[in-house]
Amino acid sequence: MAEAKREEEKIFSYDTGERATDPPPVSGSAAPTPVPSQEDESALAVEIAKLRAEKEDLLQTLVRRQADFENYKKRIERDRHEEGRRGLERLMMDLIPVLDGFDRALHAHDEPGYEEYRKGMQLIRKQLFDAVARHGLERIDAAGKIFDPHFHQAIERAESPEHSDGFILHVFQDGYLFHGRVLRPAIVRVVVHSGEGPSPEAFEN
């Protein structure tokens, strides 16, 4: 009888008076980690390779977009610079006749009474030319040079035993360059010897 009572006490909780539940399993023996199969490893490798390929493709696309953007910026800057240069070129073309007017006025009066007038005109002409020269205008130095159809335009031909064919005897009107490009050729008289050397047509534009 006493033995049966002790058995009864074992299945009741001493704290609550309720029947005790089964004791929890003894810890220390964790469940085994599942080992991935060969198929799982193959699928994972394929997925990694796919992600790497996508990453590489995105990087290449980014590099191309960056290069396109840099080229676009350079093109815009080049177009803006070219437009500014064309604007300056048009301004130079408008100012060249003003320089011609100064030159004609300076050559028109050689009398001593006009000396002070000439000095003033020369100073104004120099100031104007220096201003446009800072922006790229250059005078073609043609006097005493050999004719070059890229820079000179011959409107008269003459024979001269003292000079060789193609020698520029006289400059009627100065020519000008703008950043190395001919805005207007120099108008000149050139030496042409008949019967020798190049034909007269060689000095015509």
The answer to whether residues 97 and 132 touch, using CB atoms and an 8 Å cutoff, is no
* Rounded CA separation 154/142 (Å): 11
* Rounded CA separation 176/129 (Å): 11
Tokens of 58: 């995105």
Tell whether the model's pLDDT for residue 184 goes beyond 90: yes
pLDDT category at 163 given cuts 50, 70, 90 is: confident
Rounded mean pLDDT of 165-184?
93
**DSSP label at residue 185:** P
162 against 168, higher pLDDT: 168
Using DSSP's 3-state secondary structure scheme, residue 143 falls into coil
* Rounded CA separation 54/56 (Å): 5
| pTM, 2 dp | 0.59
* pLDDT value, residue 83: 85
pLDDT category at 28 given cuts 50, 70, 90 is: low
Rounded mean pLDDT of 94-116?
82
* Rounded CA separation 167/121 (Å): 31
pLDDT category at 35 given cuts 50, 70, 90 is: low
Alpha helices in 14-114 (DSSP H): 38-108
**DSSP label at residue 20:** P
* Rounded CA separation 148/111 (Å): 35
Strongest mean pLDDT among 12-16, 22-26, 193-197: 193-197
Instruction: Collect all residues with Cβ–Cβ distance below 8 Å to 36 and sequence separation of at least 6.
Output: 44
Tokens of 20: 């005790």
* pLDDT value, residue 85: 84
**pLDDT per residue as tens digits for the range 43-70:** 888 888 889 988 999 999 999 998 888 8
45 against 35, higher pLDDT: 45
* pLDDT value, residue 46: 84
* pLDDT value, residue 19: 52
